[in-house]
């Protein structure tokens, strides 16, 4: 009796699976063919420029430090990378010259129309470039992939981007003014938001959707506290980060830096992030000493950028949902 | 008090916002690559049906609303309240006011089952079934044989609603109507 009931249950269970659509790919086969073409063209682009393709570990004994990224950890304690940045910088320090990588990266809890917890990142580093030279190369790549050599390119400083939307100065405005602006523009309760919460909210929900869609917009000179791994510079008496982001069709596509190579400043930022994580009650980071040793040895002067391949294909194919360009999203994994 | 964190947000979830019962209509995850994550949420106020848009920092929580949809049979109106009875055999009755009944007043029919939305136990919305059968109480005389020209005329139904019906329908006939579109569907099978 019991056995029969079990059998009936399994029969229903398997019939449900077979009848459901979840075994099928999210993207159409045609979209996957187009995606493969884009990936091939990216490889050709770098081959023509003599940029070496490399592969680095997905699993690392050290964690990232970024307070806004949550990492997966394997049962034996390895961290799954959120970007291949540290390992690629070790190669640069070891004399690799210009390098690129297309890697699956993993970010816990990021799910939505434009997010899948694992996605494909194109990351590359150019020796002797600063952020402006690298922005030009990013534009060259995207124009080529879009077959639109005349696609307009606009560069705006973070401050200019904010002032274009009549938002307060991101560098000098008091945090209360930024909170008020968030409350007015976004219907939220920003009373206990930090300065960066406010800036991120205004950037991603006012500026980003408002930029002209039919042009490549590079935003550069980020607020200093959002430097991540970029160098600083002084502009009009303000310290800003030599970091840039690319926006196209209302979508954030790439994030680049004129790379920080100063070991003392790097250690200071790691400590700052560790304190911030402790204050936020987030897991303590495991510092990557191999990365620090590589910086100590010497990172050549370079600029680097990470570009979301899935999102780029979304724009190229006119897909509004990231599933439209992926074989299987996480809920069908 | 039960709460929902942003990572539990999904359409249909009933939450309390500024003390008002709301249902989440849409939930969008927004996150700059290197920045704070947010949820942009569209909510419908269940009392007024007005739509609100709100932004939350991911990880924030909001209170759950004690909202329940139950099936109830319409009994009668005393002029001030409309009385409904539970169909679960408990015979428990509830009185809904004019605000809760709203436009559904056009479709009220005795012994018909309606969906009553309760907030903290009190009725806030009465929703008619999608399809309902009602008698035509007032309309111009039917045009015999005219089933093909597609013309229509107004007809008043026993519940008070006025809908457009085909020319061949007569007073006293029972018809099936879609309560959402107010479209005539067919003659009722008797």
- Say if residues A224 and B30 touch (Cβ distance below 8 Å): no
Q: Which of B1, B9, B21 is nearest to B56 (CA)?
A: B9
Last residue of a domain, one of B41, B64, B87: B64
Last residue of a domain, one of B127, B157, B178: B127
Condensed to tens digits (0 to 9), the pLDDT of residues A232-262 reads 999 999 999 999 999 999 999 999 999 999 9
Q: Which residue has the tokens 């061949």?
A: B168
Whole-model pTM: value is 0.83
Strand partners, A216: A153
ipTM above 0.90, yes or no: no
- Decide if B54 and A252 are in contact by the 8 Å CB cutoff: no
According to the model, what pLDDT value does residue A20 have?
A: 76
Q: Rounded to an integer, what distance in angstroms lies between the CA atom of residue B130 and that of residue B185?
A: 11
- Decide if A252 and B35 are in contact by the 8 Å CB cutoff: no
Strand partners, B5: B61
- Decide if A205 and B38 are in contact by the 8 Å CB cutoff: yes
Q: What domain count does chain B have?
A: 3
- Decide if B32 and A187 are in contact by the 8 Å CB cutoff: no
A321 reaches B (C-beta below 8 A) = no
- Decide if B36 and A112 are in contact by the 8 Å CB cutoff: no
CATH number of B17's domain = 2.30.30.30
Three-state DSSP class for residue A52: strand
Condensed to tens digits (0 to 9), the pLDDT of residues A41-83 reads 999 999 999 999 999 999 999 999 888 889 999 999 999 999 9
Task: Tell me, yes or no, whether B113 and B158 share the same domain.
Answer: no
Condensed to tens digits (0 to 9), the pLDDT of residues A175-217 reads 999 999 999 999 999 999 999 999 999 999 999 999 999 999 9
How many CB contacts within 8 angstroms connect chain A with chain B? 68
The C-alpha of A1 sits at a distance from chain B's nearest C-alpha, in angstroms, of: 33
CATH number of B152's domain = 2.40.50.140
Q: What are phi and psi of B79, to 5 degrees?
A: 95, -35
Task: Tell me, yes or no, whether B86 and B49 share the same domain.
Answer: no
Condensed to tens digits (0 to 9), the pLDDT of residues B11-52 reads 999 999 989 999 999 999 999 988 999 999 999 999 888 999
Task: Tell me, yes or no, whether B118 and B166 share the same domain.
Answer: no
Task: Tell me, yes or no, whether B147 and B109 share the same domain.
Answer: no
Question: The domain containing residue B111 runs over which residues?
Answer: 67-127
Task: Tell me, yes or no, whether B34 and B77 share the same domain.
Answer: no
Give the start-to-end residue ranges of the domains of chain A: 28-152+244-332
Write down the architecture of domain A28-152+244-332 according to CATH.
2-Layer Sandwich (3.30)
Query: Which of A201, A245, A308 minimises the CB distance to B55?
Result: A201
Q: Rounded to an integer, what distance in angstroms lies between the CA atom of residue A122 and that of residue A140?
A: 15
Task: Tell me, yes or no, whether B95 and B53 share the same domain.
Answer: no
**What's chain B look like in SS3?**
CCEEEHHHCCCCCEEEECCEEEEEEEEEEECCCCCCCEEEEEEEECCCCCEEEEEEECCCEEEECCEEEEEEEEEEECCCCEEEEECCCCCCEEEECHHHHHHHHHHCCCCCEEEEEEECCEEEEEECCCEEEEEEEEECCCCCCCCCCCCEEEEEECCCCEEEEECCCCCCCEEEEECCCCEEEEECCC
A67 reaches B (C-beta below 8 A) = no
According to the model, what pLDDT value does residue B13 have?
A: 93
Chain B: residue nearest A253 by CA?
A: B33
- Decide if A226 and B34 are in contact by the 8 Å CB cutoff: yes
Q: Rounded to an integer, what distance in angstroms lies between the CA atom of residue A31 and that of residue A313?
A: 9
Task: Tell me, yes or no, whether B136 and B149 share the same domain.
Answer: yes
């Amino acid at each position: 009796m019991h056995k029969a009931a079990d059998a009936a249950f399994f029969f229903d269970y398997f019939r449900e699976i077979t009848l459901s659509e979840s075994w099928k790919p999210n993207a159409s086969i045609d979209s996957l063919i187009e995606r493969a073409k884009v990936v091939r063209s990216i490889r050709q682009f770098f081959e023509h420029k003599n940029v070496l393709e490399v592969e680095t570990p997905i699993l690392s004994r050290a964690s990232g430090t970024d307070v806004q990224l949550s990492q997966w950890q394997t049962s034996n304690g390895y961290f799954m990378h959120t970007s291949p940045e540290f390992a690629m910088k070790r190669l640069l320090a070891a004399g690799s010259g210009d390098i690129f990588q297309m890697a699956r990266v993993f970010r816990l809890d990021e799910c939505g129309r434009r997010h899948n917890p694992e996605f494909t990142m194109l990351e590359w580093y150019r020796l002797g470039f600063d952020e402006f030279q690298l922005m030009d190369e990013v534009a060259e790549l995207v124009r080529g992939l879009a077959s639109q050599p005349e696609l307009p390119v606009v560069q705006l400083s973070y401050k200019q981007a904010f002032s274009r939307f009549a938002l307060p100065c991101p560098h000098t405005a008091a945090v209360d003014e930024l909170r008020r602006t968030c409350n007015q523009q976004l219907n939220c309760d920003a009373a206990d938001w930090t300065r960066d919460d406010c800036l991120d909210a205004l950037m991603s929900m006012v500026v980003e959707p408002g930029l002209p869609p039919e042009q490549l917009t590079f935003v550069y000179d980020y607020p200093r506290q959002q430097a991540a791994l970029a160098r600083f510079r002084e502009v009009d008496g303000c310290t800003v980060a030599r970091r840039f982001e690319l926006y196209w069709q209302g979508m954030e596509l790439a994030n680049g830096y004129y790379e920080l190579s100063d070991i003392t400043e790097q250690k200071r930022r790691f400590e700052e992030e560790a304190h911030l994580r402790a204050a936020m009650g987030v897991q303590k980071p495991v510092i990557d000493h191999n990365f620090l040793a590589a910086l100590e040895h010497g990172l050549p002067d370079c600029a680097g950028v990470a570009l979301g391949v899935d999102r780029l294909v979304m724009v190229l194919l006119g897909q509004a949902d990231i599933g439209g360009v992926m074989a299987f999203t996480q809920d069908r994994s | 008090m039960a709460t929902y964190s942003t990572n539990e947000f999904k359409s249909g979830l009933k939450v309390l916002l500024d003390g008002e019962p709301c249902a989440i209509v849409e939930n969008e995850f927004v996150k700059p690559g290197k920045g704070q994550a947010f949820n942009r949420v569209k909510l419908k106020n269940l009392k007024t049906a007005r739509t609100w848009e709100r932004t939350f920092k991911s990880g924030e929580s909001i209170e759950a609303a004690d909202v329940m949809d139950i099936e109830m049979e319409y009994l009668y109106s005393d002029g001030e309240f409309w009385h409904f009875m539970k169909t679960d055999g408990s015979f428990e009755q509830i009185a809904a006011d004019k605000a809760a009944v709203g436009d559904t007043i056009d479709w009220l029919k005795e012994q018909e089952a309606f969906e009553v939305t309760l907030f903290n136990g009190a009725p806030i919305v009465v929703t008619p079934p999608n399809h309902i059968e009602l008698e035509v109480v007032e309309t111009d005389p039917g045009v015999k044989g005219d089933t093909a020209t597609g013309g229509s005329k107004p007809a008043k139904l026993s519940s008070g609603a006025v809908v457009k019906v085909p020319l061949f329908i007569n007073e006293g006939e029972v018809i099936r109507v879609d309560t959402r579109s107010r479209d005539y569907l067919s003659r009722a099978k008797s």
